[in-house]
Amino acid sequence: MAHPRGGPERATIRRVAEVAGVSPSTVSRTFSHPHLLRPSTVERVSSVAAELGYVPDGSAQALKTGRRGVIGLVVPDIANAFFPPLIRAAQTAAEKAGLSTIIGDGNEDGTKEAAMVGRLRGQTDGIILASPRTREPVLRSLHEVTRLVLVNRDLAGVPRVLIDSAPGMRSCVRLLAGAGHTRIAYVNGPAASWSNGERLAAIEDACREHGIALTTLRARLPDHDGGRAAAAEVLELGVTAAIAFDDVLGQGLLAGLAERGVRVPHDFSLTACDDTVSATTYPPMTTVGCPIREAGVAAVELLVESLRGSDDGDGNGDGDRVRRLPAEMVVRGTVGRCRER
Amino acid sequence: MAHPRGGPERATIRRVAEVAGVSPSTVSRTFSHPHLLRPSTVERVSSVAAELGYVPDGSAQALKTGRRGVIGLVVPDIANAFFPPLIRAAQTAAEKAGLSTIIGDGNEDGTKEAAMVGRLRGQTDGIILASPRTREPVLRSLHEVTRLVLVNRDLAGVPRVLIDSAPGMRSCVRLLAGAGHTRIAYVNGPAASWSNGERLAAIEDACREHGIALTTLRARLPDHDGGRAAAAEVLELGVTAAIAFDDVLGQGLLAGLAERGVRVPHDFSLTACDDTVSATTYPPMTTVGCPIREAGVAAVELLVESLRGSDDGDGNGDGDRVRRLPAEMVVRGTVGRCRER
DNA sequence: TTGTATGCGTTATCAG
DNA sequence: CTGATAACGCATACAA
């Protein structure tokens, strides 16, 4: 009915030109450079175009101009609560720059991730890789052939935005120290995660400074169930507080503790990182508020810069472009005074 | 460094042909129809292409073939926990069909949503609209000019997949009735939501059947805080159980009840819908497990069918394509025997 | 099995 | 301010 056969007959620039009684160039200019045309012409052509349901064919535009108007955004796992806000912010920022966003899911797998980038290369103007699991040399060779921006991966020479969770992590340790805790545990995140390394280092450092004994462990999987299972292990350690790699793990820990009758923050203290779900736990969780949205926007900005930088023949912009965004602690309700158990 | 100026010099099919000592069409066939070529030729061309970092230009392919290899997926809010799993599943299914996915965020705004679709129209082969907030006539006119698939919106004539939460909702009412509850409340979701209407109707029906008195209310906003605030209101109603439109609202309710010292399920019973976060609440929430991933896959399948249907000149497929996916109750720990308060 | 020629829809360049 | 023309990179019909 709507599409009798062969799909909707897409109106072309030529058809609009015919009906409007102008040349194809004029139709083109109506959409790309209306300021070069007499207002009345723009008006007339526009209305004809609307009537015919004409939309410029992106493929043809891309072929001619070399700009596809599409960027790629590859994340390890769309369903991980960390990424949707980032995606949303990036997508909005990109749209403002007239860019659409293709999402790629790397499935927490560096190889798949790299393959995605390879695929996307032919359909996009540039790609943002968030928390890439890809190995460094591969990442570098990808950067040779595509405009790349990294999020939370520190690779000199590649434009990148880094969320610096160290200050927030230090604050957490300080908060725990102030509450009298002297033995705490850190529950690690994914091994391939740059952020995990950074967080661990900051915590180790702060613990040294405050004379706190730190034990580290790794959940079976860095997800909710992993955290829940890790609760038992944490309790056996004889610590009075724990810091989780991220909110998901923290929330799992919280559930695991509740299941075992351990009341937070009365009997045990807990902090996490990211502020993705900690406002919705009960009790609300003290965490480190990562500027996830800002990171998404910054990544798009870097990419857009890089895109523009290649429009003029000038090859500047050689500076090592990095944007560091500090993450600060958000105090909620999961830290209490130390009580020996 | 990597991109001296003018960006990475993209290798073209012609350049590969030169280096490999074959004609451009042979290079083309190497990628599109390798079976038409002598294996040794494919081998040689492939290696040259790899060396040069050649990737077929999507825009040129699209222009020539009329197939862009990209579909659009527009959702009201990427950050809403309901959509990431759907996006992920759809994206994976699309990839298997050789399609990339552009995500659009409609910002819970029908007008923006429609504008997004208009924009995406020129860059995609078809668009999936999940839980569209767009008004029916607009949706219909969009369908005139683009291949469209709807999720959770029942518009005759437009291919659509509908998650039927009615059976699950009925089960919830039955479960509550069995536990002795005779007065319950339903906390509504977004007014423009088709799903909310369906759920409410099913609950009303089941309550009649079981002789349960139903009160309905609407949270300020259908989010976590809205649910938390609604807890007070629900308690004043004098009901002994509540059903929330979705998990997010339910989780908020759970938090609000906990804050007021009401223990779930001992003092009060609660169920929700979607199964997005209810496995991670404490206690884990009894809910209705919507086949979100299946819906995403089904939507892609419908779209792919529709895409293929227009390849051959045959204009069949006029049947009203609908896929209904039943949602069943998932029992967890938030329903207990009725205890008058 | 491979090469040659043409055109997809658009925009940039150049004339007028 | 507007029109004619060529070319973007590729896939295909046709020729060899």
Q: Each residue of A178-208: pLDDT tens digit?
A: 999 999 999 999 888 899 999 999 999 999 9
B97 in reach of chain A (CB within 8 A) = no
Cβ neighbour number for residue B191 with a 10 Å cutoff: 10
The answer, yes or no, to whether residue A318 has pLDDT greater than 70, is: no
Q: What is the pLDDT of residue A339?
A: 84
Q: What is the pLDDT of residue B294?
A: 97
Average pLDDT for residues B260-265, to the nearest whole number? 95
Three-state secondary-structure class, residue B105: strand
Q: How far is CA B302 from the centre of its chain?
A: 14
Q: What is the pLDDT of residue B275?
A: 96
- Highest mean predicted confidence (pLDDT) among A188-192, B35-39, B107-111, B161-165: B161-165
- Highest mean predicted confidence (pLDDT) among A58-67, B139-148, B325-334: B325-334
Pairing of strands A322-326, A160-164: parallel
Average pLDDT for residues B275-283, to the nearest whole number? 94
DSSP state of B132: -
Phi, psi of B68 (to 5 degrees): -85, -15
Q: What is the pLDDT of residue B191?
A: 84
The answer, yes or no, to whether residue A140 has pLDDT greater than 70, is: yes
Phi, psi of A27 (to 5 degrees): -65, -45
pLDDT band, residue B108 (cuts 50/70/90)? confident
Please name every residue paired with A185 in a beta bridge, in sequence order, or none if there are none.
A215, A242
Q: What is the pLDDT of residue A310?
A: 62
| B243-279 exposure pattern, b = at least 16 Cβ within 10 A, e = fewer | bbbbbbbbbbbbbbbbeeebebbeebbbbbbbbbbbb
CA-nearest residue of chain A to B71? A102
The answer, yes or no, to whether residue B2 has pLDDT greater than 60, is: no
Average pLDDT, rounded, for chain A: 91
Q: What is the pLDDT of residue A257?
A: 97
Q: Is the peptide bond before B159 cis (omega within 30 degrees of 0)?
A: no
Average pLDDT, rounded, for chain B: 91
Which tens digit of pLDDT belongs to each residue from B244-253?
999 999 999 9
Average pLDDT for residues B260-270, to the nearest whole number? 96
- Of residues B193 and B205, more confidence is placed in B205
Pairwise CA distance, residues A213 & A197, whole Å: 19
Pairwise CA distance, residues A330 & A118, whole Å: 39
Name the one residue in this structure whose structure tokens are 């434009």: A159
Residues B4, A315: C-beta atoms closer than 8 Å: yes
CA-nearest residue of chain B to A5? B315
Q: What is the pLDDT of residue A8?
A: 57
**Nucleotide with C1' nearest the B63 CA:** C8
The answer, yes or no, to whether residue B193 has pLDDT greater than 90, is: no
A85 in reach of chain B (CB within 8 A) = yes
Q: Which of residues 37-56 of A touch strand C (CB under 7 A)?
A: 54, 56
A9 in reach of chain B (CB within 8 A) = no
**Helix (H) / strand (E) containing B61:** helix B58-65
The answer, yes or no, to whether residue B316 has pLDDT greater than 70, is: no
Q: What is the pLDDT of residue B326?
A: 96
The answer, yes or no, to whether residue A335 has pLDDT greater than 90, is: yes
A88 in reach of chain B (CB within 8 A) = yes
Q: What is the pLDDT of residue B1?
A: 37
| Dihedral class, residue B334 (left if φ above 0, else alpha if ψ from -120 to 50, else beta) | alpha
Where do the domains of chain A lie, and which CATH numbers do they carry? 13-65 (1.10.260), 70-163+291-327 (3.40.50.2300), 164-290 (3.40.50.2300)
Sign of CA dihedral B253, B255, B256, B262: positive
Name the one residue in this structure whose structure tokens are 């998901």: A248
A181 in reach of chain B (CB within 8 A) = no
- Highest mean predicted confidence (pLDDT) among A3-17, A282-296, A312-326, B50-64: A282-296
In this structure, are residues A224 and A245 in contact, taking their beta carbons and an 8 Å threshold? Answer: no
In this structure, are residues B266 and B272 in contact, taking their beta carbons and an 8 Å threshold? Answer: no
Q: What is the 3-state secondary structure (H, E, C) of chain A?
A: CCCCCCCCCCCCHHHHHHHHCCCHHHHHHHHHCHHHCCHHHHHHHHHHHHHHCCCCCHHHHHHHHCCCCEEEEEECCCCCCCHHHHHHHHHHHHHHCCCEEEEEECCCCHHHHHHHHHHHHCCCCCEEEECCCCCHHHHHHHHHHCCEEEECCCCCCCCEEEEECHHHHHHHHHHHHHCCCCEEEEEECCCCCHHHHHHHHHHHHHHHHHCCEEEEEECCCCCHHHHHHHHHHHHHCCCCEEEECCHHHHHHHHHHHHHCCCCCCCCCEEECCCCCCCCCCCCCCEEEECCHHHHHHHHHHHHHHHHHHCCCCCCCCCCCCEEEEECEEECCCCCCCCCCC
**Residues of chain B positioned with their CB less than 8 A from the CB of A146:** 8
**Helix (H) / strand (E) containing B204:** helix B194-210
Q: What is the pLDDT of residue A192?
A: 81
Name the one residue in this structure whose structure tokens are 């030169």: B18
Residues B146, A8: C-beta atoms closer than 8 Å: yes
Q: Distances in Å between the alpha carbon of B211 and those of B132, B214, B245?
A: 35, 9, 21
The answer, yes or no, to whether residue B314 has pLDDT greater than 70, is: no
Q: Which of residues 201-240 of B touch strand D (CB under 7 A)?
A: none
Average pLDDT for residues A47-71, to the nearest whole number? 91
Residue B32 contacts strand C, CB under 7 A: no
The answer, yes or no, to whether residue A138 has pLDDT greater than 80, is: yes
Pairwise CA distance, residues B26 & B43, whole Å: 12
In this structure, are residues B147 and A7 in contact, taking their beta carbons and an 8 Å threshold? Answer: yes
**Nucleotide with C1' nearest the A64 CA:** D8
Distance A31 CA to C13 C1' (A): 18
In this structure, are residues B262 and B339 in contact, taking their beta carbons and an 8 Å threshold? Answer: no
Phi, psi of A310 (to 5 degrees): -100, 0
Long-range contacts of B259-263 (CB under 8 A, 24+ apart): B259/A282, B259/B228, B259/B231, B260/B231, B260/B232, B260/B235, B262/B231, B262/B235
* Strand C bases with any atom < 7 A from protein Cβ: 1-5, 7-13
Return the ∠ at Cα B141 (arms to A60 and A23), rounded to 5°: 40
CA-nearest residue of chain B to A52? B145
Please name the residue whose C-alpha is nearest to the C1' of nucleotide D6.
Answer: A64
Average pLDDT for residues B81-95, to the nearest whole number? 94
Which tens digit of pLDDT belongs to each residue from A100-136?
999 999 988 999 999 999 889 888 999 999 999 999 9
- Among A245-249, A276-280, B104-108, which stretch is predicted with the lowest mean pLDDT? B104-108
Q: What is the pLDDT of residue A64?
A: 93
Pairwise CA distance, residues A172 & B264, whole Å: 31
Residues A252, B280: C-beta atoms closer than 8 Å: yes
Q: What is the pLDDT of residue B9?
A: 66
- Of residues A8 and B153, more confidence is placed in B153
Residue A64 contacts strand C, CB under 7 A: yes
* Residue B209 C-alpha, separation from nearest chain A C-alpha, in angstroms: 35
Q: What is the pLDDT of residue A86?
A: 96
**Residues of chain A positioned with their CB less than 8 A from the CB of B296:** none
A7 in reach of chain B (CB within 8 A) = yes
